[in-house]
Chain A
Amino acid sequence: MSERRPPTDTDDGTAGESLPDDGTVGERVPDGGMTDGGTTDGGTAHSDRTFVSGEHDADGHAFPSTSEIRRWLVTTNHKDVGILYVVTSLFFLLLGGVLALLIRVQLWAPRAVGETILNPAAYNQAVSAHGLLMVFWFLSPFAFGFANYVVPLQIGAKDLAFPRLNALSYWLYLASGLLFAVSFFQGGTFAGGWTMYAPLNVPTFMPDVGASTAVLALVLFVTSVTVSSVNFITTIHRMRAEGLTLRNLPLFTWTILLTVWMMLFAFAALLAALLILSSDRLLGTTYFALESPGGSLLWTHLFWFFGHPEVYIVFFPALGVMAETFQTFTGRRIVGRKWFIAAMILVALQSFVVWMHHMFLTSINLQIKTLFMVTTIGISLPFDLMVFALIYTMIKGRIRFTTPFLFTFGALLLFIIGGITGVFLGAVVLDYEFRGTYWVVAHFHYVMVGGVTALVGGLYYWFPKMTGRMYDEFLGKLHFGLYFVGFNLLYFPMFVAWQTPRRVFDYAPGLAPWHKLATIGGFVLAASFVVMFYNLTKSAFAGDPAEDNPWAYSTTAEWAIPSPPPLENFPGVPTYRDGTLSFRSDAPQLTAEADGGTAVGSTSSATPPAAYDAAREAHDEPASHASIWPLALSVGMFVLFFGLSGLRGGSFVSGAMGAVYLASSAVGGAVTFGSLLLWALEPFDAPAGGFGEAWPFAGVENGKVGMWVFLASDVVLFGGVIGAYVFTRVAFGWTGWEPIPTDPIPGLLNTYILLTSSFTVVLALVAAEKRSRMGVVASLVATFLLGVGFLVNKGIEWQHLFHEGLWLSTNVRSSTFFLTTGLHAAHVIVGLLITLFLVARAWRGAYLDDSQTVEYFGLYWHFVDIVWLFLFPLFYIL
């Protein structure tokens, strides 16, 4: 579990620096200019102004300019990260798009045995990889490129709450995508569809190493998403400008806020599913094995509990882009804004109670079907309201059909068709026949690629802001024309040919003309993207310079600052105190850089909003916007996960490749661990929140909010794993299932040990507050020893079980026991590593002035203890 490192970067970096005896911290950071502003000559920074004009951060120490590769490797700035996300996601669009075209070529005609272009196994891989790449590695990250770039600007923040974690999210995302790409070359990637149904997903039926790699790539991706959700949730709640209450939040930011909340919980459930699947594939547990009672259904529940919210997770940001652009390009404020927001909140909540509508043809009973039919229809209704709100917003407008609006207007049209065809699926009797056919394929492409259409509109909308240059309007319109024709030519025939079974290439010959049309449409759509890539690449370097605000009637804060915005975003502290945006010019180091060209005036104020710059004042040592550790950590995890993919049934595959995998795991593990350590020791400025609106976390610092939010996702992770146990046990027969440890005493002992260790953590905190160095050290050492005692005790217990012939793969009872308690033990190990780190720093006198780190660690540690309080009765007593 080391990859789910709790977000503590505001404190680790700053806590000790003000202490005189802790001066070694700076020396520990390797040189190379990455982290130390003094090594680069500030004079070169202004040489390039293509993307970001303010290469100097407000402290005046240098940061590589955007024309240097190094800048993009070390940056933690949200605008840079946003651009990286957008560019990378478009790269994965190409990959997924090429696969889509291969699929369409195969479907040009029904393919009998021997007439295929891709062989059947390759076709299955293409379909599966296409779906996974498009949904995970293109659609969401594309949206999060904009979220990264725009959300801090819209809310008036200098950056996200945890800039290094943000960079980490990006690098983990890239690493996971590359890992997925590698999986194609390890005998073949995952071939069981993006839904990954069991038991086809286990090695018995899908033995290729590449299939394991694909699953691990997803795990890495989920890690990135979780880190990102924690970051955005903390940022949006804690770092809004004065006056920007949630009610007044711009709609794009609203959609992102709801998206990240859904992500936090949905992806935690997916992580539970994927960890169990990885364990089945790599360690040999038998959750999803053919013999497992309920294994198939267990997967469908776990997957769809994630899968349905995922539909809204990918769609909401698109909705946000539509709302913003409709307001801007019609010159009208959105109709029924309050209702629009209420409808979205309703959808976000309800999205977690509709998952079984994907399972109408399984053995669930009529009551449950009825219930899920009702919730499903219920969740579709708020969308009607949103659609009408968007349409009525146009009334009395001054509508300009510029490229961004063409795309979002087109997106609304596509979404209406997608929505209407979705109602068909909500009628269970019809769903019985549509399931597994091209009706579903057509419907979800209208909705999801409809969402992509809006996001492409967003790309054109924010392109001038992000690059400082205008795209070519004619080519933009041409792109839209080709896109819209291609899209409908591609997907509409799928409704007509709906009788075609999904993921099948040998269909009824009578449907061939429709499939031919669709294939032609696919190529037209692909061609439209060629136009876009040409236009945007050329314009990014040679387009006309863009004004600060190229769009009439736009309202949000990103348009009130230069295009592209300077590194520190605003010429003062943004505030809406007077009902409109202004920048308070009392923050001295910011006014010096203020750009006169903004459309909005500055006001001054007698009360400096200290928190806006609080982090900087906390210590004297220079720290910078740059950090290499997010990249290093991601490289480490990439190598580690690549190595782990070679595991099968708990040991590495035989032969030379086995040695490669083993070495790769070892190296990757070492790099991961080392980067984590150096990360923790690096001095780093994170912007503090609470300078404006911070509901509902006004009194809690960013670090603590982040920890809480992270733990909330961990609750769902354990919920998923424990739920899997309960589900399996019920399917097996609750009473016929005997606990694996015949002797509950070691477990009971461990319960006492953990409870005591929670107590010692509290003592450490008390000691820190009393400024007793020895007290802190002694309590933390006691915690560490108790934790070790827990693990040793568990080790002895497991060894006994092993000698009794019980191990991970023995049966499903032992699988659930070892995996669930093992996941908990992994949390304990992570906790102990952190404890060691804290002890080392406490020895040097850290945490006495600032006990936050100890407090956050305490939250984590108590949580791990509480989990054990659930596991003990479930696995030892009942």
Chain B
Amino acid sequence: MLMGLRYVLSALALQSELIPRGSRTFVFQRIFVVFLVLGTLVGIVVITYMLYTAYRYRDGEDRADDGVDRPTLGELPSVGSGGGGRKLLPSFTLSVVIVISLISWTYGTLLFVEEGPSAEESMEVQVEGYQFGWEFTYENGHTTDGVLRVPAGEPVRLRVTSADVFHNFGVPELKVKTDAIPGQRTDTWFVANETGNYTAQCYELCGAGHSYMTADVVVMEPDEYREWYANTSNSSSAS
């Protein structure tokens, strides 16, 4: 069932322009903005209505007895009827429709993100967290500590694990994040479109050095990167 749904949705996702696809920064921004706009709108409507209703039906000396059947002490809840329920189901239905369509819409992107780039079109780096730093191993076996170098515009797949406790590897600007779990491997990917220096950060409390558990992510011109990569070998270095 789930699998069937998945294929239908993947097919839809592939055809439709509606589903954000691209770098992870792009898809995040797209979806986040839509959620933010809609969320703010719904919030404002609901809260305004709530405040208005509260104001409109406030008690006061000038309020005449409006003939409404009020609750009395000691009554059973089922004795009087609540009334006013006519609006309840329509508003509930509306909110259900909004939430479900929003989430289904993002599901297409989730499929895209989960799929990730293929092995041919991307490079792979092993990431290992430890208390308190990050070690990166490239495909040729070259290992660096604290600095990850990647070419701009090319997808990078990360295989993340931990040497000791539970960590979480994330680069906020590149919108990539995944758990680093001892004994487990988690996979994620990203594309950095602009060259420059970024910071990777640990997102799971891992001990006294957690706040400072960072690494540099250096996004280089592809040519420059290839030149650097060609000079590395199966050894460790600090850069």
Q: Which residues of A contact B (CB under 8 A)?
A: 111, 113, 119-121, 123-124, 127-128, 191-193, 197-200, 205, 243-244, 247-251, 290, 292-297, 327-328, 330-337, 339, 361-363, 366-367, 369-371, 373, 377, 380-381, 384-385, 387-389, 391-401, 409, 412-413, 416-417, 420-421, 423-424, 426-430, 432-433, 435-437, 499, 501-506, 549, 553-555, 557, 559-560, 576, 579-582, 599-600, 731
Contact = CB atoms under 8 A, between A and B. Distances in A.
Interface stretch (B89-97, B121-129, B145-153): B89-97
Contacts of A198: 166
Counting chain B CB atoms within 10 Å of each CB, the highest count among A380, A429, A579, A580 belongs to A429
Given A435-B203, A499-B172, A424 B39 contact: yes
B57 A330 contact: yes
Interface string B163-176: 01110101010010
The 8 closest A-B pairs by CB, nearest first: A436-B203, A581-B74, A398-B59, A384-B95, A200-B165, A427-B106, A120-B208, A193-B205
Contact of A124 (B43, B75, B179, B207): B207
Interface string B28-53: 10011001000100110011011001
A144 B208 CA distance: 35
Interface in B198-215: 201-212
Contact of A384 (B47, B96, B203): B96
B2 interface: yes
B88 A389 contact: yes
Interface stretch (B109-117, B133-141, B224-232): B109-117
B183 A248 contact: no
A436 B168 contact: yes
A804 to B, nearest CB: 27
B92 A384 contact: yes
21 contacts: A120-B212, A200-B206, A200-B207, A248-B78, A290-B164, A296-B181, A331-B68, A332-B82, A361-B168, A362-B179, A369-B110, A388-B88, A393-B84, A421-B39, A429-B31, A429-B110, A430-B31, A503-B211, A504-B211, A555-B77, A580-B79
A381 B99 contact: yes
Given A124-B207, A124-B208, A197 B165 contact: yes
A297 B59 CA distance: 55
A333 B69 CA distance: 9
A557 B82 contact: no
Nearest to B88: A336
A553 B73 CA distance: 7
Given A197-B166, A385-B92, A124 B210 contact: yes
B203 A501 contact: yes
B77 A337 contact: yes
A397 B50 CA distance: 13
A501 B50 contact: no
Contact of B186 (A113, A247, A328, A361): A361
Contacts of B42: 420
B121 to A, nearest CB: 20
A767 to B, nearest CB: 47
A335 B84 contact: yes
B175 to A, nearest CB: 5
A557 B88 contact: no
A502 B165 CA distance: 17
Interface of B: 2-3, 5-6, 27-28, 31-32, 35, 39, 42-43, 46-47, 49-50, 53-54, 57-59, 63, 66, 68, 70-85, 87-88, 91-92, 95-96, 99-100, 102-103, 106-107, 109-111, 113-114, 131, 164-166, 168, 170, 172, 175, 177-179, 181-186, 201-212
Given A385-B92, A413-B47, A502-B203, A423 B182 contact: no
A128 to B, nearest CB: 8
Contact of A290 (B54, B66, B182, B204): B182
A113 B212 CA distance: 8
Given A332-B71, A377-B99, A579-B75, A199 B166 contact: yes
A429 B106 contact: yes
A197 B204 contact: yes
B218 to A, nearest CB: 18
Contacts of A294: 183-184
Contacts of A384: 91-92, 95-96, 99
Contacts of A328: 71
Contact of B182 (A251, A296, A432, A437): A296
A121 B87 CA distance: 53
A401 B57 CA distance: 11
Contacts of A296: 166, 181-184
A458 to B, nearest CB: 18
Contacts of A433: 28, 172, 175, 177
Q: Tell me which of B53, B131, B185 has the highest count of chain A C-beta atoms within 10 A of its own C-beta.
A: B53
Contacts of B54: 394, 399, 401, 409
A428 B111 CA distance: 10
A779 B71 CA distance: 59
A580 B74 contact: yes
A330 B84 CA distance: 13
A332 B114 CA distance: 50
Contacts of A501: 170, 201-203
A705 B63 CA distance: 51
B3 A367 contact: yes
Contacts of B175: 432-433
Contacts of A420: 39, 42-43
Contacts of B201: 501, 504
Contact of A580 (B46, B58, B76, B204): B76
Given A120-B211, A502-B203, 5 more contacts: A200-B166, A370-B2, A384-B95, A400-B59, A423-B102
B181 A381 contact: no
Contacts of A121: 208
A192 B178 contact: no
Contacts of A397: 57, 59
A27 B103 CA distance: 69
A380 B84 CA distance: 23
Contact of A416 (B3, B46, B177, B209): B46
Contacts of B88: 335-336, 339, 385, 388-389, 392
Contacts of A392: 84-85, 87-88
A426 B102 CA distance: 10
B79 A503 contact: no
A422 to B, nearest CB: 10
B31 A427 contact: yes
Given A199-B165, A373-B107, A432 B74 contact: no
Nearest to B55: A399
A504 B210 contact: yes
A336 B85 contact: yes
A437 B79 CA distance: 49
Contacts of B210: 120, 124, 503-504
B13 to A, nearest CB: 12
A123 B207 CA distance: 10
Contact of A293 (B83, B179, B183): B183
A199 B162 CA distance: 11
B68 to A, nearest CB: 5
Contacts of B5: 370
A381 B114 CA distance: 26
A391 B57 CA distance: 12
A191 B207 CA distance: 8
A582 B76 CA distance: 11
B57 A430 contact: no
A361 B170 CA distance: 11
Contact of B77 (A248, A367, A429): A248
B130 to A, nearest CB: 11
B97 to A, nearest CB: 10
Contacts of B81: 333
B70 A331 contact: yes
A474 to B, nearest CB: 18
Contacts of B59: 331, 397-400
